[in-house]
Amino acid sequence: MLAAEGLVELLPNRGSVAVQLSEADVRHTFEVMAGLEDLSGELAAQRVTDAELNEIKALHFEMMAAYTRRDLSAYYQVNAAIHRSFNAAAKNPVLTATYNQVNARLQALRFRSNQDGDKWQRAVDEHIAMVQALEARDPVALRQVLMQHLDNKRNVVIEQLRSSRQTISASPEDASLSDTPFQKEGKAP
């Protein structure tokens, strides 16, 4: 299953290894994910029920509490639930299946993108705008804020990737690893 989702590579007679995402892989995957998030947001704004909207707002308040506590792990879990809820509110099973598959490649990378205080604050501000656009049932506004949100996430992850590579290449004992692609877990080898 993990191999089918592109998370591990099966090696004959050797087992499996976690897939390493290059900068191009990250950029391409975020481009697809941004399109899926945009469409999810647009459809959700048109199709969300009052009960779904109330649940998303409740999740948003939970996420804000985690942010206030600076509990990145709890924040991320609720954040991911909010994004899944937008997708579910779109009520398109093909979109949901595709979203889940592509999102699996980005989970760890998205988590790491909030480890900088200013970038985390920007993500919170974007989430506030998302909830406002959904509450207004404004598909154009929600699509735009989701696009910006994913663009910002992509830029942060690529910046982290480049920084990680520079750190590796600057370390004499690890100089041979300077061309190693970014691992899916978001850690330099």
DSSP per-residue string spanning 43-109:
HHHHH--HHHHHHHHHHHHHHHHHHHHT-HHHHHHHHHHHHHHHHHHT--HHHHHHHHHHHHHHHHH
Q: Average pLDDT for residues 36-41, to the nearest whole number?
A: 96
Identify whether 178 is part of a domain.
no
pLDDT value at position 188? 39
Q: What's 65's domain CATH number?
A: 1.20.120.530
Q: Tokens in use for 83?
A: 């994004």
The predicted structure's pLDDT at residue 112? 64
pLDDT average, residue stretch 101-106: 88
For residues 15 and 35, what is the distance between their CA atoms, to the nearest angstrom?
A: 34
Q: Is residue 119 part of a domain?
A: yes
Predicted confidence at residue 189, as pLDDT, reads 35
Q: Total structural domains in the chain?
A: 1
Residue 22's pLDDT band (boundaries 50, 70, 90)? confident
Question: pLDDT category, 106, cuts 50, 70, 90?
Answer: confident
The yes-or-no verdict on residue 184 having pLDDT over 80 is no
Position 82 in a domain? yes
Any domain includes 120: yes
Mean of per-residue pLDDT scores for the chain: 82
23-47 helix and 117-135 helix, angle to the nearest 10 degrees: 30
Q: Percent of the chain scored above 90 by pLDDT?
A: 58
> Averaged over 175-183, what is the pLDDT?
39
Q: How confident is the model at residue 116 (pLDDT cuts 50, 70, 90)?
A: confident
Residue 18 resides in a domain: no
Residue 86 lies in a domain: yes
Pick from 129, 98, 123: which is nearest to 110 by CA? 123
pLDDT tens sequence across 43-96: 999 999 999 999 999 999 999 999 999 999 999 999 999 999 999 999 999 999
1 found inside a domain: no
Which residue segment(s) compose the domain that 55 sits in?
Answer: 23-160
The pTM of the full predicted model, rounded to 2 decimals, is 0.76
| Domain-located, residue 41 | yes
